[in-house]
A and B are shown apart, each in its own frame.
Chain A
Amino acid sequence: MARAVSTRRKITMTIIGWSIGLLIFFPVMWTILTSFKSELDAIATPPKWFFFNWTLENYQTVHARSDYFRFMMNSVYLAVGSTALGLLFAIPAAWAMAFSPTKRTKDILLWMLSTKMLPAVGVLIPIYLMFRNWGLLDSHVGLIVVLFLINLPIMVWMLYTYFKEIPGEILEAARMDGASLTKEIVYVLTPMSVPGIASTVLLCIILAWNEAFWTLNLTTSNAAPLTAFIASYSSPQGNFYAKLSAASTLAIAPILILGWFSQKQLVRGLTFGAVK
Chain B
Amino acid sequence: MATLQTKSAARLMMAPAVIALLIWMIVPLSMTLYFSTLNYNLFNPAQTPFIGLTNYRFFLTDPAFFTALTNTLKLVAGVLAITVTGGILLALLLDQDFYGVNIVRLLVIAPFFVMPTVAALVWKNMMMNPVYGTIGQFLNWIGIGAIDWFSAYPLTSIVIIVAWQWLPFATLILLTALQSLSEDQKEAAEMDGAGPVSVFWHITLPHMARAITVVILIQTIFLLSIFAEIYVTTSGGPGLQTTNLTYLVYSQALLQFDVGGASAGGIVAVVLANIVAFFLVRIIGKNLDA
Residues of A within 8 A of B (CB): 1-3, 5, 10-11, 13-14, 16-18, 20-22, 24-28, 30-31, 34, 42-43, 45-47, 88-90, 92-93, 95-97, 99-102, 105-106, 108-110, 112-115, 117-130, 149, 152-153, 156, 172, 181, 206, 209-210, 212-213, 216-217, 226-228, 230-231, 233-234, 236, 241, 244-245, 248, 251-252, 255-256, 258-260, 263, 266-267, 270-276
Contacts and interface: CB of A to CB of B under 8 A. Distances in A.
Interface of B: 1-2, 6-7, 9-11, 13-14, 16-18, 20-21, 24-25, 27-29, 31-32, 35, 90, 93-94, 96-101, 103-119, 121-123, 125-127, 131-132, 134, 137, 141, 164, 167, 169, 172-173, 176-177, 180, 183-184, 187, 210-211, 214, 218, 221, 224-225, 227-228, 231-233, 245-246, 249-250, 253-254, 259, 262-263, 265-267, 269-270, 272-274, 276-277, 280-281, 283-285, 287-288, 290
Contacts of B249: 121, 124
Given A34-B126, A119-B224, A93 B14 contact: yes
7 contacts: A2-B183, A28-B111, A113-B284, A212-B115, A267-B172, A271-B218, A275-B210
Contacts of B281: 110, 113-114, 117
Contacts of B29: 118, 122-123
A93 B113 contact: no
Interface centre among B7, B96, B187 (most CB of A within 10 A): B96
Contacts of B183: 1-3
B9 A181 contact: yes
A121 B269 contact: yes
Chain A contact surface mostly = helix
B250 A227 contact: no
A10 B101 CA distance: 11
B173 A275 contact: yes
Contacts of B93: 13, 16-17, 20
Given A14-B98, A17-B96, A274-B210, 15 more contacts: A10-B99, A13-B98, A20-B93, A118-B273, A119-B225, A213-B225, A216-B117, A217-B254, A233-B121, A241-B125, A241-B132, A255-B113, A275-B173, A275-B177, A275-B210
Chain B contact surface mostly = helix
B100 A18 contact: yes
B35 A118 contact: no
Nearest to B172: A267
Nearest to B169: A270
Nearest to A256: B113
B246 A121 contact: yes
Nearest to B277: A117
Nearest to B93: A17
A132 to B, nearest CB: 10
Contacts of A102: 7, 10
Contacts of B127: 27, 30
B97 A2 contact: yes
B250 A124 contact: yes
Contacts of B131: 43
A1 B98 CA distance: 17
Contacts of B274: 117
Contact of A227 (B18, B116, B218): B116
A27 B117 contact: no
Contacts of B9: 96, 100, 181
